[in-house]
A and B are shown apart, each in its own frame.
Chain A
Amino acid sequence: DVKVTQSSRYLVKRTGEKVFLECVQDMDHENMFWYRQDPGLGLRLIYFSYDVKMKEKGDIPEGYSVSREKKERFSLILESASTNQTSMYLCASSQWYEQFFGPGTRLTVL
């Protein structure tokens, strides 16, 4: 069974902290994605990666960075967390037409 896992389901951090959200897929997929989901706004793409060490900005990259050192792992980094980054964060991977999503991490920044 294909799997995308995310390091935490729930996370609480303080303003100004550096936050790492980890995503791992076991399907040997080339492409990986980070989204955030907020009520009334749907899913919005933050960053994506087509290959190891490659990254592309999505629609809302400000305040975020990413790292892809290995094919199976894609990390989202909040350099200095702010309250407006409180959200549900979803990771996905794909090889062709279908994206497989992880269960999400609900991040609260106080």
Chain B
Amino acid sequence: DAKTTQPPSMDCAEGRAANLPCNHSTISGNEYVYWYRQIHSQGPQYIIHGLKNNETNEMASLIITEDRKSSTLILPHATLRDTAVYYCIVRVGGFGNEKLTFGTGTRLTIIP
């Protein structure tokens, strides 16, 4: 699976959009981009994933560049409950390939 690079920490004001970048310059054509987050003292939680197209769900939006070498997770209206460590993960999709490799992620702090 391709390696990802994320900033170790970020701050965002409450109510503003939080934009979390991820670099995955060695991604291959059949690898998906996944985002998880881990709130303190809890297990990680799935947020969103995508292959080529931008994706949106009730939690967030995922913007993947055309060359797929980087992506941005957007939390449109950050709240204090969004304070967490966010992990960007790249892996091959499909049945039998559910293994995930977590890095150290980005610690996002929402400022009141």
Contact = CB atoms under 8 A, between A and B. Distances in A.
A43 B99 contact: no
B49 A90 contact: no
Contacts of A100: 46
B103 interface: yes
A68 to B, nearest CB: 15
B49 A101 contact: no
Contacts of B36: 99
B101 interface: yes
B96 A99 contact: no
SS of A interface (majority): strand
A82 interface: no
B11 to A, nearest CB: 20
26 contacts: A4-B43, A31-B98, A33-B99, A41-B104, A42-B87, A42-B102, A42-B104, A43-B44, A44-B102, A58-B99, A90-B43, A90-B44, A92-B44, A94-B98, A96-B95, A96-B98, A97-B34, A97-B46, A97-B49, A97-B93, A99-B98, A100-B46, A101-B42, A101-B44, A104-B42, A104-B43
Interface residues of B, number: 22
Contacts of A58: 99
A101 B102 contact: no
Given A58-B99, A96-B95, A97-B34, 11 more contacts: A40-B104, A42-B105, A43-B102, A48-B99, A50-B96, A90-B43, A97-B93, A98-B46, A99-B100, A101-B45, A104-B43
Chain A interface extent, by class = 20 to 34
Interface of B: 32, 34, 36, 41-46, 49, 87, 93, 95-96, 98-105
A97 B91 CA distance: 10
A43 B105 CA distance: 10
A99 B104 contact: no
B46 to A, nearest CB: 4
Contact of B43 (A45, A94, A96, A103): A103
A48 B43 CA distance: 17
